[in-house]
Amino acid sequence: MALDVCHEDASAKSDLLANDWKTLEALAQPSVFLSWQWIGVWLSVYRPECSVIRVRDRGKLVGLGLVTESSERRHRVLVSRCLRLHQTGCPAEDQICIEYNGFLAEKDREAEVGKSAIEYLKQSGTGWDEIVIGAVEADYAQELAQASGLVSHIRWESPSYGVDLRSLRSGDQAYLDTLSRNTRHQIRRTRRLYEESGAVVLQRPGTVAEAEFIFHSITPLHFARWGGGQGESSFTNPEFIRFHQHYIRTHWEQGGADLIVLKAGDETLAIFYNLIYRNRVYFYLAGIRKEQDNRLKPGLLGHSLCIDDYLEKGFDFYDFMGGQDRYKAQLAEPHQHLVKIGLQRDRWKLRAERGARAIKHRLNKDR
């Protein structure tokens, strides 16, 4: 069945866009990153110049997406004109790192809507070189690439890890019992050692103001672990902080954001910032105290206690999202594979880039 696709300026009818997005969202199975909960904040904070892609089936809205245009300079000389889905192309603004991206679509029509939208973009103009979508589920990206006839270039890829809380609950299974013997030992030893300083507890803010304060309290912990220089901790980026301040102010009271402090007595060991949507927990970031004693693993302990807490509260899934971090493999199972993909037109400059990349890959492989 052929779908009707059109576009408009996102700023032209902002109230209509919000209403249409929420209406379609109710018929879809999106991640938090394709909910109005996230998209609405993105539009409000960054005010990107973007086009609304609308996909209809016999007049009924079945798909939506927001596309921006930007130029990307690579290798100092190559300039690629990019269309981006739900990103601006400004590194400072895109550091909020959208995951589980794609076109918002009516349930079970995700691939159909995505293919129609890409085909529309492909036919609507020749002024762009590639469509960049990330981070998106790998099978979905492959379907879009195959249907479009564009050249697929994977810019980044990673497994996505998570814990199925609903399955644990239905099987009456304790979370720690699902982990390896070594990981269980590290978590229990860490707790025992910290309890020498006082009770190990999780604490949450009681007001929006407290939630904002706790979010900012992550900064020194994040700097200590990732560095406070340019390009290191995301907390050095004012645009990153501005987005999440707005997100917390807008959604904390409604339960769309969760901030948790892990304490031993009066000592703060870690702070966790999670996004909450449709009974699913998305672990977004944490500030974790650096310890000189390598027996102490505050991150492992904190995540395990958070998972137990969400399990008890009736949540369905604890999603660590993408990343090759060792702790994710220790604490969870891979459940999806994410990619950041560029769907490229057949341009000579992009062919040259792919050729150079292939040569470099072969040389590195031979070393």
Contact (Cβ atoms closer than 8 angstroms) between residue 97 and residue 134 = no
Task: Output the tens digit of pLDDT for each of the chain's 367 residues.
Answer: 467 777 777 765 578 999 999 999 999 999 999 999 999 999 999 999 999 999 999 999 999 999 999 999 998 889 999 999 999 999 999 999 999 999 999 999 999 999 999 999 999 877 899 999 999 999 999 999 999 999 999 999 999 999 999 999 999 999 999 999 999 999 999 999 999 999 999 999 999 999 999 999 999 999 999 999 888 999 999 999 999 999 999 999 999 999 999 999 999 999 999 999 999 999 999 999 999 999 999 999 999 999 999 999 999 999 999 999 999 999 999 999 999 999 999 999 998 888 888 888 777 766 6
| Among 31, 308, 304, CA closest to 169 | 308
Query: For the domain 4-150+345-366, what is the CATH code?
Result: 3.40.630.30
List alpha helices for 75-109, DSSP H.
91-94
Residues 35 and 28: their CA atoms lie apart, in Å, by 10
Q: Which two tokens stand for residue 163?
A: 């814990």
Task: Say if CB 282 and CB 276 are below 8 A apart.
Answer: yes
Residue 272: strand pairing partners: 260, 286
Residue-range domain boundaries for the chain: 4-150+345-366, 162-335
Distance, in Å, from the CA atom of 12 to the CA atom of 204, rounded to the nearest integer, reads: 40
CA pair distance 80, 153, nearest whole angstrom: 13
Neighbours of 197 (CB within 10 A): 13
User: Which CATH homologous superfamily contains domain 162-335?
Assistant: Gcn5-related N-acetyltransferase (GNAT) (3.40.630.30)
Cα separation, 261 vs 205, in Å, equals: 9
The yes-or-no answer to whether 4-150+345-366 and 162-335 have a common fold is: yes
Q: In whole angstroms, what is the distance from residue 301 CA to residue 185 CA? A: 11
β 130-137/78-85 pair status: parallel
Integer Cα distance of 116 and 22 in angstroms: 21
Q: How many CB atoms lie within 10 A of CB 11?
A: 13
E strand or H helix at 170: helix 165-170
